[in-house]
Amino acid sequence: MTDVITTETTSTVIVATPASATVSVSGVNSAIVIPPGAGATGPQGPQGEQGPEGPTPEEVIFEVLGGALGTQPTFNGAPLFSGTYIKVGSLVHFQIQVDFDNITSFGSGQYYIDLPFACKYNYQFSAGCLHDISTGRDYPIFGHVFAGEVQMLLKSIDSQGNAAFNIPFAQGSPITLATADNFHLSGSYIAEEE
């Protein structure tokens, strides 16, 4: 393909061309001026020095608070809830362990646990497991939290026909809990700005 640019007066014409193009100039006092920095790309320069090492995130223990939306569970001593988190910027990863060994009443209503920081968005965490020690069965446990909240509502799963759906995790749902049972849940989320 050939493009022709004609000018009747003295003027500067800027032409953008591919690197492999040939440019011809004709006429009185004709010249090609190559602007500074134009031309083929040269080789890459040397690698710069590595910047300083950033802080190493540390696992932090936090007090796990929780309960039930109806009657609160009761315990012989402090609840056996434990949890840790790692926070890098606004990204949080948490893990929570709940042991029922010292529970005296499981309470009523859907269970909940508070996260270490409020969530920026709505989340459902699915990396949870309820261990039914008497039968040797494991049941999935989910946590759902709304944006701006720390209270994570706990859920399990049920099915009807070919459909599976979440149900509130409470005493008797999905199983009748016993003191030998326990559960754990973990997940990652973006925390709300502090």
pLDDT of residue 6: 63
CA distance 167 to 159: 10
pLDDT of residue 176: 96
pLDDT of residue 94: 98
pLDDT of residue 41: 82
Ranges of the chain whose pLDDT falls below 70: 1-38
pLDDT of residue 107: 96
In the chain, DSSP finds a helix count (H) and a strand count (E) of: 0, 12
pLDDT of residue 96: 98
pLDDT of residue 103: 96
Place of tokens 């209503």: 109
pLDDT of residue 19: 57
CA distance 111 to 87: 25
Task: Delineate the domains of the chain, giving CATH numbers in brackets.
Answer: 60-190 (2.60.40)
- Nearest to residue 166, comparing CAs of 183, 150, 142? 142
